[in-house]
Amino acid sequence: MKTTMRCAALAGLALAGLALAGPASASTFTVYDSNNSGELITTLPGDNNWYVLYSVDIGTINVGDIIVVFADGGQLQDPTNTTDHYLTSHLMRATSASGTTGTEIDDANAMNITQEVYRQVPIKPAITTIQSGTTGRHFVNLLVQSASGNDLNVNSDYGRLQVLKITP
């Protein structure tokens, strides 16, 4: 009996050791998607102001969360094929779906849409770790800006904003 109990105790301690050595908890993965026809504007004014093209609500976040963002930024095109455009895009973490300020997720960068090219698709990928600013509800927004003086048309159902939130 004593031998049996000793073996049981050793087995129990070994299992406890395994439990402590193993993962304390699993990572969680959550996908957010702007879905079909998620464009929030139909035209982009050429007034050099930022506009939100796509937005996804990622809810609450914690320091240490990892955010993977892919923006397949729709199709923006000149309605008359007579103007050259300068199109800038930017990923931003904001506190609302209309927010154009907040925490940068990437850098703003730009492309030209010449009359010959006529249409463009801004692709924006980003991976970031949340460092601070976790209070409240959070949105990832794809911002666009044109400085041409003329509007660009935003085609409906031609792009997406998708986010993977990993809580390690």
Partner 1 sequence: MNTMLRNFVLGAAFAAAAGSASAATMTVYETPAGSELITSLNATTGTFQVVYSLNICPLSAGDILVVTAQSQIQNSSTTHGIYIAAQLRRDSTASTAGNALASLGNGTNIAPHDYRLVSPKVSISTITDDTDLCVINYIARAASDQGGTADVVNSRGRLQVLKITPTP
Residues of the shown chain interacting with partner 1 in the complex, contacts defined by CB under 8 A: 5-6, 8-9, 11-20, 22-29, 31, 33, 68, 70-72, 74-75, 114, 116-121, 123, 125, 155, 157-160, 162-164
CA–CA gap between residue 156 and residue 168 (Å, rounded): 36
Tell me how far, at minimum, the Cβ of 42 lies from partner 1, in Å. Answer: 15
Q: Which two tokens stand for residue 9?
A: 């105790």
Tell me how far, at minimum, the Cβ of 77 lies from partner 1, in Å. Answer: 9
Tell me how far, at minimum, the Cβ of 135 lies from partner 1, in Å. Answer: 25
Strands annotated E in the chain: 28-33, 43-44, 51-59, 66-72, 76-77, 85-94, 103-104, 109-113, 119-120, 123-129, 138-146, 152-154, 160-167
* CB closer to partner 1, 23 vs 107: 23
Tell me how far, at minimum, the Cβ of 10 lies from partner 1, in Å. Answer: 9
* CB closer to partner 1, 141 vs 162: 162
* CB closer to partner 1, 101 vs 114: 114
To the nearest 5 percent, what fractions of the chain are helix, strand and coil?
Answer: 10, 45, 45
Provide the 3-class DSSP secondary structure of residue 114: coil
* CB closer to partner 1, 42 vs 49: 42
